[in-house]
Amino acid sequence: MILFEALYVAPPALTAQAPILVIAGPLIGACAAALSPGGRTAWMVSMLTAAFALWMAVAVAGEVAREDVIDYALGGFAPPMGIALRIDALGATMALLVASIGVMGALYSGHALESEVKAEKHTLFQSGYLLCLAGFLGLVFTGDAFNAFVFLEVSSIGTYALVAVGEARDRRALPAAFNYLIFGTVGATLYVLGVGFLYAATGTLNMVDMAMRLATLGDNSAVQAGLAFVVAGLGVKAAMFPLHGWLPGAYAGAPSLVSVFLAATATKAAIYLIIRFVFDVFPEGEFGEIFLSWILAPLAAAAVIICSVQAVFEKEVRRILAFSSVAQVGFILLGVSLATPAGLSAGVFYLVAHALMKGALFMAVGAFAISVRARTVEDFSGIAREAPWSAAAFGVGAASLGGVPLTMGFLAKWSLVSAALETGEIWIVAVLAIGSLLTLIYVGRMLEAMFFRAPGRGAERAREAPVGVLAPLFVLAGLSLWFGVDATLPVSMVNASVSALVGAAP
């Protein structure tokens, strides 16, 4: 975060209000986009709003770097009565990630929507997109457990609709969206139930307050049940194994932009909230340790192995990427389950790395989808000759996913394995190694088809995507590469986040 310390990007008056503007901007933008006369205008609104949110997020990050924590009381009502935003280094990092992906997605939507979404739906699509953005940004900023639920649902309702819009390309998007809605709502309701238990035990919804009161409560079965419900509920949203059933269909069916955005931010925001609850709200104690090492770690390991195997045997590229996302969430949670500063920082670093690479991968798939209706790995044969730039970016994303050296994915896996070795959990190292190998297999299958096979006879010819699509794609792929060679920026942010969480840097 040191890099942000000297960063004053907005006038002080604006910076003071930046935390709420980050959220309010996209919310207002969502209304404006819905009301705008045509898809073009809506796109402009979307671009401007996302850029504004990013600007404000950077301003917040600067403030956080200087003051460690920002407490922002909404409407001037001081917590614990009023709703408070509370932003520490982790929140600022997540907001930067979400807002950057938001801008890239908005830029990308300029061309990518045309092939995948009906023209008359563009305005509403942009509106839903901004709604999601607002929801995720709110989620990472809020300091109030119930408020988090509201933001969770704001973003979720947006995503259900956005996934369903994918019907224009693939009607399987509709049942997938419905399925997602059922899963997501059950998850959110479980979360509310958990928060209810915590509220009953502590009488507060403010996370800081709650943490203080929980620390004095000692062992309390209502609190433990509360944690169980909260984590189960968020686990659904984070696609934590075995609660991930909604994800493959939703990612595969949604328009590419939505897959990009969901893969890079939706599961990540939920993981963020899990981390927040487990490490910030809940007091340290036996229960938390048992939960981490006997429930979270085995489930994450199962996700890594089982979903990677599923990805290996899957035929459709989007579904491969989707299963891979579940497996990668497993990698992230394995790091978190170590509960050491090193493990946690590896987990968060992995989270950022995965957001960038999966974003790039889905964007590249979307770039191909502009000109061809390729679905299976077979269909992608030889596409690198027809659309070399998109394929190159896909290759970079895939390399990062596979953990090839000089990409961010490699560093993420490296720090994960070192963290596991440090704690002496050899079985986690073994799981990571096998998971990485399986990842390489399915990544290799896709790359082999794209780069080394000739296109099938009579197949449609792909065309290179327009610059408006390639630019954000290259930014994401380029970041995966750049942070693989020089990871100073993400490492410093992640370390600051971890020391904000557990009070010790790795």
Footprint on this chain of other proteins (rule: CB under 8 A): 146, 149-150, 153, 156-157, 160-161, 164, 167, 170-172, 174-175, 177-178, 181-182, 185-186, 188-189, 192-193, 196, 199-200, 205, 315-316, 372-376, 379, 403-406, 411, 414-415, 417-418, 421-422, 429, 433-434, 436-437, 440, 444, 452, 456, 459-460, 484-487, 491
Minimum gap (Å) between residue 265 Cβ and other proteins: 19
At 343, which helix (H) or strand (E)? helix 341-369
As a dihedral over the C-alpha atoms of residue 347, residue 348, residue 354, residue 360, rounded to 10 degrees, the angle is -170
Minimum gap (Å) between residue 292 Cβ and other proteins: 21
Minimum gap (Å) between residue 421 Cβ and other proteins: 5
Nearer of residues 96 and 192 to other proteins, judged by Cβ: 192
The single-letter code of the amino acid at 341 is P
Minimum gap (Å) between residue 109 Cβ and other proteins: 21
Nearer of residues 40 and 373 to other proteins, judged by Cβ: 373
Minimum gap (Å) between residue 439 Cβ and other proteins: 9
Nearer of residues 62 and 347 to other proteins, judged by Cβ: 347
Angle at the Cα of 408 from the Cα atoms of 357 and 356, rounded to 5 degrees: 25
Nearer of residues 88 and 167 to other proteins, judged by Cβ: 167
Nearer of residues 55 and 251 to other proteins, judged by Cβ: 251
Alpha helices in 87-220 (DSSP H): 89-116, 122-141, 145-165, 173-202, 207-217
Say if CB 28 and CB 15 are below 8 A apart. Answer: no
CA distance linking residue 273 with residue 271, whole number of Å: 5
Nearer of residues 294 and 452 to other proteins, judged by Cβ: 452
Q: How many CA atoms lie less than 13 Å away from 181 in the CB half-sphere?
A: 13
Sequence-distant (6+) residues with CB within 8 A of 262 are: 159, 163, 250, 251, 254
Minimum gap (Å) between residue 12 Cβ and other proteins: 33
Nearer of residues 205 and 329 to other proteins, judged by Cβ: 205
Nearer of residues 88 and 116 to other proteins, judged by Cβ: 116
Minimum gap (Å) between residue 390 Cβ and other proteins: 16
CA distance linking residue 211 with residue 278, whole number of Å: 10
Say if CB 154 and CB 187 are below 8 A apart. Answer: no
Residue 41 CB coordination number (10 Å): 16
CA nearest to 261, candidates 169, 334, 366, 185:
366
Nearer of residues 24 and 429 to other proteins, judged by Cβ: 429
Minimum gap (Å) between residue 213 Cβ and other proteins: 15
Sequence-distant (6+) residues with CB within 8 A of 330 are: 241, 299, 300, 301, 302, 303, 304, 307, 435
Nearer of residues 23 and 188 to other proteins, judged by Cβ: 188
CA distance linking residue 321 with residue 366, whole number of Å: 12
**Rounded alpha-carbon distances, angstroms, from residue 2 to 106, 283, 412, 488:** 29, 29, 21, 10
Minimum gap (Å) between residue 185 Cβ and other proteins: 5
DSSP structure string for 363-420? HHHHHHHTT----BTGGGTTHHHHSHHHHHHHHHHHHHHHT-TTSHHHHHHHHHHHHH
CA distance linking residue 317 with residue 301, whole number of Å: 23
CA nearest to 241, candidates 184, 307, 164, 157:
307
At 341, which helix (H) or strand (E)? helix 341-369
Minimum gap (Å) between residue 297 Cβ and other proteins: 18
Minimum gap (Å) between residue 84 Cβ and other proteins: 15
Minimum gap (Å) between residue 16 Cβ and other proteins: 27
Q: How many CA atoms lie less than 13 Å away from 147 in the CB half-sphere?
A: 24
CA distance linking residue 153 with residue 132, whole number of Å: 9
Nearer of residues 10 and 201 to other proteins, judged by Cβ: 201
Sequence-distant (6+) residues with CB within 8 A of 462 are: 368, 371, 372, 374, 383, 386, 387
Nearer of residues 62 and 138 to other proteins, judged by Cβ: 138
